[in-house]
Structure 1
Amino acid sequence: MQPTHRGLLHHLVITVSSVSRSAPFYGTMFRHLGYELGGSSYGGSYEYEDWRRMDQDTPHEISIVTADPKLAEVPHRRGAVGHHHHLAFCALDRADVDRFHADVLVPLEEKGLCTIEDAPCDCPEYGQGYYATFFADPDGLKYEFVSNPNHRRRHE
């Protein structure tokens, strides 16, 4: 069988104001989603964490890096050129979204490490059965954890 990963995301680099500040949020989230820490550097001129999954027929890596010191004070502005609007991760089902909210997001928010924008909820505006939770990292970068059964139905 031929590999099916052509065109899939290989890696993504997310710039944060401080890796040391953001690492507890991303580490908790990525571990829960099945990523492993592949490399890191703290305290130097270039701080980073590389999170990897190698179980999907292709390397898949998301890194967090500290912003250029000359630009670190420029706040994230959703909708501005070069700034992501939000990034969504796939959940297995509604129960997976609920577990992620309860086991990951609520404890992170209690520690001041994230902001829950929407607890798990139906989002009929995105399709029947679309169920998600929306949240932001310490810099206000928006994320989503979503179960979308319509996507599976369209491709069966």
Structure 2
Amino acid sequence: MSHAHRGLLHHLIISVTNVTRSAPFYGAMFRHLGYELGGHSHGGAYEYEDWRRMDHDTPHEISIVTADPSLASLPHKRGAVGHHHHLAFCALDRVDVERFRAEVLLPLAAAGECIIEDAPCDCPEHGEGYYATFFSDPDGLKYEFVFNPNHQKRDA
């Protein structure tokens, strides 16, 4: 029995104010990152989108769901208990980070569907060669797309 996938992320569910409103942001980001829409429901009592990657011989799913209506008016507070600070996705290289900004973030920002917090830049405080862009979804949930060559050095 292989333990190669033990401990890896299986799925993550992100609550948003409104799935229909957030769908353009998440759809553009996830498609660019190689995810496929596995299922969705818009306009019903339970709105969701399930985005999946099955190319690494293990399920990996990130879903967005509409928040509980009684809690939907509470704003996201980065750093509060139960709220994620930010979620980072791996890039192939520095060019991949630049391409993500040009092909995904700039069109989303122009449409008012995301905020680019930091254009691609070096982040030496996180290690030599660390290169990332930071951005937020329509609810202010923060994300990062990062190339970190330090993992490759450590693995070598």
TM bin, normalised by shorter chain, reads over 0.9
Identity %: 78
- Segments of structure 1 that go 5 or more residues without pairing to the other structure are none
* 1:80 shift after superposition: 0.4
* 1:56 shift after superposition: 1.0
Tell me if the contact between 1:19 and 1:47 (Cα under 8 Å) persists in the aligned partners: yes
- Segments of structure 2 that go 5 or more residues without pairing to the other structure are none
Q: Which residue of the partner structure matches residue 28 of structure 1?
A: 28
Distance across 1 between alignment mates of 2:2 and 2:77: 41
* 1:4 shift after superposition: 1.5
Kindly provide the amino acid, as one letter, of the partner of residue 151 in structure 2: H
Secondary structure at 1:132 match in 2:
strand
What is the TM-score with the length of structure 2 in the denominator? 0.98
Kindly provide the amino acid, as one letter, of the partner of residue 110 in structure 2: E
Secondary structure at 1:107 match in 2:
helix
Q: Which residue of the partner structure matches residue 143 of structure 1?
A: 143
Secondary structure at 1:20 match in 2:
helix
* 1:85 shift after superposition: 0.0
Kindly provide the amino acid, as one letter, of the partner of residue 126 in structure 1: H
Tell me if the contact between 1:4 and 1:57 (Cα under 8 Å) persists in the aligned partners: no
Q: Which residue of the partner structure matches residue 129 of structure 1?
A: 129
Alignment RMSD, CA only? 1.0
Q: Which residue of the partner structure matches residue 70 of structure 2?
A: 70
Distance across 2 between alignment mates of 1:7 and 1:119: 32
Kindly provide the amino acid, as one letter, of the partner of residue 123 in structure 2: C
Runs of 4+ in structure 1 displaced over 6 angstroms? none
Tell me if the contact between 1:3 and 1:57 (Cα under 8 Å) persists in the aligned partners: no
* 1:5 shift after superposition: 1.1
2:93 is aligned with 1:93:
yes
* 1:152 shift after superposition: 1.2
Distance across 2 between alignment mates of 1:96 and 1:4: 27
Kindly provide the amino acid, as one letter, of the partner of residue 17 in structure 2: S
Secondary structure at 1:25 match in 2:
helix
* 1:75 shift after superposition: 0.3
Kindly provide the amino acid, as one letter, of the partner of residue 154 in structure 1: R
- 1:99-151 CA distance string (max 9 Å, x none): 00011000000000000000000000000000000000000000000000001
Distance across 1 between alignment mates of 2:153 and 2:33: 23
Give the length in aligned residue pairs.
156
Kindly provide the amino acid, as one letter, of the partner of residue 128 in structure 2: Q
Kindly provide the amino acid, as one letter, of the partner of residue 21 in structure 1: R
Q: Which residue of the partner structure matches residue 14 of structure 1?
A: 14
